[in-house]
Structure 1
């Protein structure tokens, strides 16, 4: 379809275009004059029209974070892009452009109405995150496969869709196929879907729909299982004990051990490995279970701490609010009285008294804040001590269990070394030629070679064990240090700073109010 701007050079979305569009769409007359005097904040704009601008590329919209409605129809846009920051967008019109692919809409999770009418789109795709989609207009595109519309089944809120003008509309089964497969639809191609049509479509595609439902149910169950697994793993990770509820650590000892497979073929080592694995997995499970228990205790302590903090802040805020409400009642009466005093001396006295009352209010509010600071400081100190004890106990217990793992490795190493020396002696006497692998024979050159191999394997295992122990300790201590830093600096210091600023601004406004009054006694 030819467009008005086909022979005109493409436009760029720049500040000038945006300001002009906002001005054209903004309030008129006196309200418009006032709006122009104030600096335009893109972040405050709720709706924007950029239609018929000959725009080729979507760009420079990242500041419009409050935008809920964006109209960009009748341009020459070739690609959906530059919309990532428009997370509050509810309505988007990109009709009459040159778009070929639906893409880059992942962040627009609040989108309810999407218009892509009259473009060059051949596949309905890449809209999985648009779970609130209510209206979709994608007529006059290049959609040719009815099967592609099965994708729309995932949008449970989709009630209105326009598909007219696409190649597949020539298929005699087009309407019943869409109605049967997208059960949530109320309107198709601007027409209400009647109950007879719904029933006929459902009957015609009954077996296909039943199969689809079964597949969707299976996929949903797998998704839920996957999410549950991810949730559980994240919980274990937060407890610093992920992969310790099985043989993972044991198997990791040997995965990076170049000598492991060779030494495993030594006579009797296979039985040693089975015993080693069983005992080590048992200890790891103790670490795992204890870690989860301690994680729940720490989270409970953190939750109780924040609950206590919020309770203290709420109580303190209520005290301040009550004081301000009382003062405002007094303030209104005082200001009313001041306006009728004509005697300058009396007025000066009343003003001085009122100013003194404002100062007393400042003292009271600041006193409340200092009281809260002291209260929170004590609460934070108690919490930090309690948390430090919990983390310390956790670390000590884990260190004790990991020490047992290290002992198992030392015992295993001694036994393997003993078997290796004995095997070497027999090998030298030509008693084991046919029972050993070629790789093992290469280690049985002399005592130093086989001993070095066993020791190297042992060093790899100890390093793995030490690294896992260090990882648990560092993450636990790091979590506590980070949490306390956040509480002290990012939360309490900033809260206090904001509260003091709020009090000072309030007091300054009270003083400015009295200074700006036109009192007869001062004239």
Structure 2
């Protein structure tokens, strides 16, 4: 039976009612089912769900099924793959007999092993880069007509079984050999074993193409590995706020957009100054970079030490609380035992009052412990805040000192450019232009205003680049420090609130249990 039987039926959406019915139908039967219904059905605990033959046209309302491993959506009217983002534990997905045209919306389903698009309208196999665990894929009876779709599947290294029957691509000459050659790990094609003779012929037919492709893929993998390593290193530099300060990046950036400034470097006698300028500039940037990594390490060590101190204090406090609760449990057992035996009403009242007093004492002790922990953590937090603030401020002060030196270097460079430009302008007036001076540089000396504007604009741009880099570093460092301190305060406030609430709820539970037991005795 296929979805075509439903063409004249009103399409459905996935409603809460439909989900409850499906879960109930597919849940445990008999006594176990009755108990499950009485306790309530929690969608987050459901492992398997069948929504086949429901005339569904849109996938939605499945966000609560976070534990789902198996989902049937076959034989519906679904046109678009969507609404599956939260089903991160899905292993088996059946979308066969629908009206899907594009493979999409699967990025979060990284655990998928079995996937069926049998009988849909798909013309291209794509957007499955995240399905690294996929072992079985059915795209039978779709519109796949290009061999590129098979090449695409090479990235699915675990793929063992592939169904492509009933697609136009089957009509291409030697299609089966192409599949065997390009997917050497494939075991089954269209539910049949790929025999050794087919594999042999495929390896002969496509030997050189496959060897070249394998080499290209190896090169690409090496490139990606290198890029990933570089990205990890760069991320560390960013966390230290000093990315691209280990080299001539900042120096180069000053001249990247400064067309006039690059021309001015060619003025007479400028070459030695420029070389010295760049060398000292890069050296100072490296100082910031080195100190940045060193200070980042110090801050990380401070955070680690803080976390260890915090957890040690909480653990010790929890152990004291647990010990008290353990001791109280003995009192509780004794109370319940005695209540059952006391026949005298007056004695019973005295015993109940004593037990209530024990509960109050427990409550007061646990609250006292929490108050002690609150004070202890306050001291730890204040010390951490002081240290991390001082570290950040000290680093910023160091950076500002170095960037002041960078500005001094730029000012000196500017003076030399100005001096050379003024001398060259004087020689130009006397028609004594240096013959080796490039034409583009000579064009700046049409009049005094043009050359002076060029010199001034270049200088302003360089200072702006230095200022912007300093501002970026200082702002980010301060923001990180403030954010970390805010997080510490917020987490401590939340911890304290939760602990107080936990104590109150526990004490209320003890009192409620005692009252219930007394009522039973009466």
TM-score under structure 2 length normalisation: 0.90
Q: 2:294 is matched with which residue?
A: 293
Structure 2: segments with no counterpart, 5+ residues:
none
- Work out the CA distance in 2 between the residues paired with 1:520 and 1:441: 106
- Work out the CA distance in 2 between the residues paired with 1:503 and 1:196: 73
Report Cα offsets for 1:145-189 as digits up to 9, x if no partner. 455324333333334443444444567855665455445445544
Residue 407 (structure 1) aligned with residue 408 (structure 2): yes
User: Residue 62 of structure 1: CA displacement?
Assistant: 3.5
User: Residue 445 of structure 1: CA displacement?
Assistant: 5.1
Contact residue 339 and residue 520 of structure 1 kept, 8 A: no
Most deviating of 21-30 and 306-315: 21-30
Distance 1:204 1:41, change over 3 A: same
- Work out the CA distance in 2 between the residues paired with 1:195 and 1:276: 69
Contact residue 3 and residue 76 of structure 2 kept, 8 A: no
Q: 1:451 is matched with which residue?
A: 452
User: Residue 25 of structure 1: CA displacement?
Assistant: 3.5
- Work out the CA distance in 2 between the residues paired with 1:159 and 1:16: 38
Residue 377 (structure 1) aligned with residue 378 (structure 2): yes
Most deviating of 438-447 and 211-220: 438-447
Residue 213 (structure 1) aligned with residue 217 (structure 2): no
Q: 1:111 is matched with which residue?
A: 112
Structure 1: segments with no counterpart, 5+ residues:
none
User: Residue 514 of structure 1: CA displacement?
Assistant: 0.6
Most deviating of 202-211 and 457-466: 202-211
Contact residue 342 and residue 520 of structure 1 kept, 8 A: no
User: Residue 141 of structure 1: CA displacement?
Assistant: 2.5
Within 5 Å, give how 1:374-523 maps onto structure 2. Answer: 374-432=375-433, 440-441=441-442, 443-444=444-445, 446-447=447-448, 449-489=450-490, 491-518=491-518, 523=522
User: Residue 376 of structure 1: CA displacement?
Assistant: 1.7
Distance 1:141 1:476, change over 3 A: same
User: Residue 323 of structure 1: CA displacement?
Assistant: 2.4
Q: 1:6 is matched with which residue?
A: 7
- Work out the CA distance in 1 between the residues paired with 2:3 and 2:41: 36
Distance 1:520 1:453, change over 3 A: closer
Most deviating of 272-281 and 206-215: 206-215
- Work out the CA distance in 2 between the residues paired with 1:200 and 1:499: 70
Q: Please state whether the residue corresponding to 1:136 is helix, strand or coil.
A: strand
Contact residue 237 and residue 293 of structure 2 kept, 8 A: yes
Contact residue 95 and residue 115 of structure 1 kept, 8 A: yes
Most deviating of 101-110 and 428-437: 428-437
User: Residue 310 of structure 1: CA displacement?
Assistant: 2.0
Most deviating of 170-179 and 251-260: 170-179
- Work out the CA distance in 2 between the residues paired with 1:204 and 1:368: 78
Q: 2:87 is matched with which residue?
A: 86
Within 5 Å, give how 1:49-128 maps onto structure 2. Answer: 49-128=50-129
Within 5 Å, give how 1:222-371 maps onto structure 2. Answer: 222-257=223-258, 259-371=260-372
User: Residue 20 of structure 1: CA displacement?
Assistant: 3.8
Most deviating of 322-331 and 245-254: 322-331
Report Cα offsets for 1:418-471 as digits up to 9, x if no partner. 111111111111111855556655643554553343223212211211221121
- Work out the CA distance in 1 between the residues paired with 2:11 and 2:317: 59
Q: 1:153 is matched with which residue?
A: 154
Distance 1:459 1:384, change over 3 A: same
